Amino acid sequence: MMKRQEIKQVLDELTKDIDSLADKKAVTIIKVLVNLVEMLAEENALLREENQVLRDEINRLKGEQGKPNIRGQSKGSNGDNTGNSNHSSEGDRNKRGKGNNKNTGKDKKNVRIDRRVTIALDKATLPDDAKFKGFEIRIIQDLKIITDNVEFKLETYYSPSLKKTFIAPIPGEYKGSEFGPGVKALVITLYRDAGMTESAIERFLKTCGIQISHGKIASMLTEGNDIFHQEKEDIVDAGSNAGLYQQMDDTGSRVNGKNHYTHVLCNDFFTAYFTRRKKDRLTLLELLCRDQLKFMFNQEAYELMDEFGLAKKWLDQIKPMLHAQPLTRESIDSLMGTLFPNPKKHSTNRRIILESAALAYYQHSKYFIHYLMTDDAPQFNKLALHHALCWIHEGRHYKKLTPFSDMNQNILAVFLEQLWDFYHALLTYKTAPSQSMAQQLSMQFDTLFATTTGYDVLDQRIAKTRAKKQALLLVLDHPFLPLHNNASELGTRFQARIRDINLQTVSQNGTKSKDTFATIVQTARKLKVNV
């Protein structure tokens, strides 16, 4: 039996200079066979992966460990030199970039001077003709970390007639805690901004002379944060109103041992975080409406139900129920109970009706987004008047292709070169948009994504991209839109770092505080201001 590498060598030899063969019928047959091998190789890889997952599960049930996930030393190394384990397109895009734009000069920062010291020179070491020429200034930055523990002596009086004790009030910033505002501010900053764990903060504070317990630190991080929660709401409202567009993405998170999703909403002015149990469209509508979502059971909702594929049987029952007043979640859940008495059945029908009614309300609310940039996940559909798709995410679909033969690897490489050339043409257009250039780029898109390469899997992928033309080329009509969703993806990476350091939140307060401070910290960084 031939080994995988031997089969590849035979295929590569057969397809070498294939287009120069005179027998076109033979060329067609060879290409069909190569695509058949590609399909079988892909199926084999998927089956191997599935088989390994099942083996690992069997081992775990037997009390053993699964196969360890050992990463290669170089990015993109997968054993056959195709480099497809790394789906980033950054390298391909940067080949056409403007080069390294990093500032090689030293950053000039204004350093606050706390004290000045004049150092005299020993005159005995100077020659007789030495003349005073002023001072050479050198600034040394240093830090002193000292405690500011205060013992308050509160005057106390007792009135025998009133049988009441009067005690001088402690300053407001010290009320309700044995720790001052400086300690709490430092704890929050170290945990939320610097990424230190609670145990590391405890060790640090004790080293500095503050006697504090792990429980007190946890309490500071999760309780008494109402002012910060309000600040988050203000940030979201102000940032949404200031920006011309919004961007969204999500990433996994854990709350008390259960899987959740942290959603990111952002633009040039802010980045906000919302952790929820699900990532469906109804969840997104709830967070976009600041948890004030209502439902409209009107003609518009009815048409959306029809568009989303609700069966005629249910549409006929719903038609007489339509009315113009918004419904609360409790009201529409009661209506769902009337339509579907068995709560364990008709989950898809329930979802369609709820999403349609929620969209009918949202699309006429003050929260409705006019321009939205996301990846092509279906839950983002209908959330904006104009919905743009991310080119970088689209490029990842191509990077995930794993051609087996050299011929198809070369075909893919050539097409990717053309794709990123077109991407950079769009970037150029954004700097100086014009109607003629927009028409030219639209025609170039049609030409590029009408390509038939002969590599079947690639051709299928090209057809899928062609179907997204309107969303991918929205920038031609609205040049202020970004071409990629990197801003929200960077936001999800911050949440991923939080997850790596602290694994999970436990309480509702902890989860809410995590989202609030992530919003404040990331927005401050984006606006280049101190937290």
- The confidence band for 525, taking pLDDT boundaries of 50, 70 and 90, is very high
165 assigned to some structural domain: yes
- The confidence band for 98, taking pLDDT boundaries of 50, 70 and 90, is low
262 contacts 515 by C-beta, under 8 angstroms: yes
409 has pLDDT over 50: yes
Domain count, the chain: 3
d(CA 184, CA 7): 65
The DSSP secondary-structure symbol of 505 reads B
506 assigned to some structural domain: no
pLDDT of residue 105: 44
Phi and psi angles of residue 513, each rounded to the nearest 5 degrees, phi first: -65, -40
Output the CA–CA distances (angstroms, integers) from residue 470 to 131, 388, 477, in the order listed: 76, 8, 10
Give the orientation angle of helix 214-222 with respect to helix 181-188, to 10 degrees: 80
Question: Which of 208, 362, 200, 196 is closest to 285 using CA atoms?
Answer: 362
pLDDT of residue 66: 72
User: Between β-strands 164-167 and 369-374, what pairing exists: parallel, antiparallel or unpaired?
Assistant: unpaired
507 has pLDDT over 60: yes
User: Between β-strands 270-276 and 258-267, what pairing exists: parallel, antiparallel or unpaired?
Assistant: antiparallel
Residue where one domain finishes, among candidates 61, 92, 108: 61
Q: Domain of 8? A: 4-61
Name the strands in the sheet holding 369-374, side by side, starting at the edge strand that comes first in the sequence: 270-276, 258-267, 246-255, 369-374, 384-389
357 assigned to some structural domain: yes
Residues 6+ apart with CB under 8 A from 253: 259, 260, 261, 262, 275, 495, 499, 504, 505
pLDDT of residue 99: 52
d(CA 285, CA 504): 25
251 contacts 273 by C-beta, under 8 angstroms: no
Residues 6+ apart with CB under 8 A from 39: 456, 457
Report which residue type is found at 394.
E
Q: Is 421 helix (H, G, I), strand (E, B) or coil?
A: helix
pLDDT digits (tens, 9 = 90+) for 239-296: 999 999 999 999 999 999 999 999 999 999 999 999 999 999 999 999 999 999 999 9
Residue whose entry in the numeric block shows the structure tokens 């460990």? 65
32 assigned to some structural domain: yes
- The confidence band for 173, taking pLDDT boundaries of 50, 70 and 90, is confident
125 assigned to some structural domain: no
Mean per-residue pLDDT, 354-366: 96
Residue % of the chain over a pLDDT of 70 = 87
pLDDT of residue 83: 44
Residue where one domain finishes, among candidates 366, 399, 431: 366
180 assigned to some structural domain: yes
User: Between β-strands 326-327 and 164-167, what pairing exists: parallel, antiparallel or unpaired?
Assistant: unpaired
72 has pLDDT over 80: no
178 assigned to some structural domain: yes
Question: Which of 503, 493, 497, 524 is closest to 250 using CA atoms?
Answer: 493
Phi and psi angles of residue 69, each rounded to the nearest 5 degrees, phi first: -90, 95
Question: Which of 355, 337, 359, 357 is closest to 346 using CA atoms?
Answer: 337
Q: No. of H helices and E strands in the chain? A: 19, 9
Q: Is 215 helix (H, G, I), strand (E, B) or coil?
A: helix
Residues 6+ apart with CB under 8 A from 198: 191, 214, 217, 218, 221
80 has pLDDT over 50: no
370: left (phi over 0), alpha (psi -120 to 50) or beta: alpha
pLDDT digits (tens, 9 = 90+) for 134-162: 999 999 999 989 999 999 999 999 999 99
Report which residue type is found at 497.
R
322 assigned to some structural domain: yes
> Where is average pLDDT lowest: 19-33, 45-59, 367-381, 401-415?
19-33
- The confidence band for 1, taking pLDDT boundaries of 50, 70 and 90, is low
pLDDT of residue 426: 97
pLDDT of residue 490: 93
Report which residue type is found at 160.
P
Stretch (H or E) spanning 47: helix 24-61
454 has pLDDT over 50: yes
Residue where one domain finishes, among candidates 316, 341, 366: 366
